[in-house]
């Protein structure tokens, strides 16, 4: 039996066991609702992921959630690079560079699309943020200051930016990652509704195999007079997470239904699908709960990503996230080892 067939069998077994248990179930209305949600939860569809999203075939392993629930998880191992495309470009090189050779950044409005990180944007940063101290370019050469080496990347791509790398546009390369760099994601095979919602640090995994990250520390970034440049897909690189997304800009969308619903972009760390903000008609999802989720008969409970400049994908976890084995003890929804609040850009 191959892993895809095994995946389907596990989903059917889990669903059948839950449905059977409902016949004799007793408890509060809230408990009944949670049992109903779990019984109708849609497990992850691994066929939606891009070719080469994983470095080895996904497996199903025993795991335990942060709430102490013993369950099974998909173990997904990736290499920190988006499958099917090369990241970038990120920082412009001169103040005359246009959008075709540069990336993007959050809008100061905190919602809507990303703004183009053009040379002109760099030139007018002081005006844009109302702070004349901004000077991320050389006034004599009109060259943009950016982190052009691994050393500069390491010194700048963190909240406590080293002094010599302030007033820089920050970009890093995949070549800076350690040899044989991997990321491992543990995600419940069947989502488990949580008794209470929980905080998002790492939102989940995109369909190209890279991380859907938690919120970037924008105040710290701007406070150091730096711009942690994204490419047009809303992602960038550091040596702890590899390439990771901070915005849903459309690069990992996969239409997996014919009902006009928004496209799937990835899966949250609790196993529920994350879909784009807008449906096929360009309409934004309505009636979302506090985590940016809703339920329908086709997809069960699922999330809709926020607009690109909101600096988040989802607001909280509706389901239980997994505590991986190992000394760090972070739930799967938390930061990767070594990155806890220190390297989240």
Range of the domain at 311: 49-345
Residues 167 and 219 in one domain: yes
Residues 32 and 170 in one domain: no
Query: What pLDDT shows up at residue 345?
Result: 59
Residues 10 and 157 in one domain: no
Residues 167 and 205 in one domain: yes
pLDDT digits (tens, 9 = 90+) for 309-333: 999 999 999 999 997 554 344 445 4
For residue 93, CA distances in Å to 34, 147, 153 come to 53, 11, 16
Helix, strand, coil in percent for the chain, rounding step 5? 20, 25, 55
Residues 141 and 189 in one domain: yes
Query: Rounded to two decimals, what is the model's pTM?
Result: 0.84
Residues 284 and 318 in one domain: yes
Instruction: Please report the DSSP string for 7-57 in residue order.
Output: HHHHHHHHHHHHHHHHTT----HHHHHHHHHHHTPPPP-GGGSPTT-SSS-
- Rounded Cα gap, residues 336 and 333, in angstroms: 9
Domain total of the chain: 2
Over residues 195-204, mean pLDDT: 96
Residues 178 and 253 in one domain: yes
Residue 224 contacts by C-beta under 8 Å, 6 or more apart in sequence? 161, 165, 166
Residues 315 and 280 in one domain: yes
Residues 61 and 29 in one domain: no
pLDDT digits (tens, 9 = 90+) for 70-127: 999 999 999 999 999 999 999 999 999 999 999 999 999 999 999 999 999 999 999 9
Residues 15 and 68 in one domain: no
Cβ-based neighbour number of residue 180 at 10 Å: 7
Residues 120 and 36 in one domain: no
Beta strands, E only, 142-191: 168-170, 183-188
Cross-strand pairs, 184: 77
Cross-strand pairs, 206: 266
Residues 114 and 164 in one domain: yes
């Amino acid at each position: 039996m191959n892993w895809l067939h095994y995946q389907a069998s596990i989903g059917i077994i889990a669903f059948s066991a839950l449905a059977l248990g409902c016949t004799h179930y007793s408890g509060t209305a809230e408990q009944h609702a949670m049992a109903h949600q779990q019984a109708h939860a849609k497990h992850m569809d691994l066929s939606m992921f891009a070719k080469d999203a994983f470095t080895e075939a996904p497996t199903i392993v025993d795991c335990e959630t942060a709430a102490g629930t013993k369950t099974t998880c998909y173990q997904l191992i990736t290499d920190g690079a988006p499958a099917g495309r090369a990241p970038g470009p990120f920082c412009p090189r001169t103040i005359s560079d246009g959008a075709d050779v540069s990336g993007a950044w959050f809008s100061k409005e905190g919602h809507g699309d990303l703004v183009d990180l053009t040379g002109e944007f760099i030139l007018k940063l002081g005006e844009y943020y109302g702070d004349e101290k901004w000077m991320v370019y050389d006034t004599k050469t009109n060259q943009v200051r950016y982190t052009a080496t691994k050393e500069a990347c390491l010194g700048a791509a963190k909240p406590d930016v080293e002094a010599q790398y302030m007033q820089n546009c920050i970009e890093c390369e995949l070549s800076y990652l350690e040899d044989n760099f991997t990321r491992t994601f543990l995600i419940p095979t069947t989502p488990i509704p949580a008794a209470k919602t929980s905080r998002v640090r790492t939102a989940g995994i995109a369909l190209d195999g890279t991380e859907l990250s938690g919120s970037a520390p924008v105040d710290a970034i701007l406070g150091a007079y730096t711009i942690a440049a994204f490419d047009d897909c809303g992602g960038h690189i550091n040596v702890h997470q590899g390439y990771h997304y901070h915005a849903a800009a459309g690069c990992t969308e996969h239409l997996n239904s014919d009902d006009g619903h928004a496209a799937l972009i990835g899966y949250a760390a609790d196993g529920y699908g994350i879909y784009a903000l807008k449906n096929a008609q360009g309409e934004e999802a309505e009636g979302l709960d506090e985590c940016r989720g809703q339920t329908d008969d086709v997809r069960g409970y699922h999330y809709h990503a926020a607009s690109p400049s909101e600096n988040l994908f989802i607001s909280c976890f509706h389901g239980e996230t997994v505590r991986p084995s190992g000394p760090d003890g972070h739930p799967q929804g938390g930061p990767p080892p070594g990155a806890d609040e220190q390297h989240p850009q």
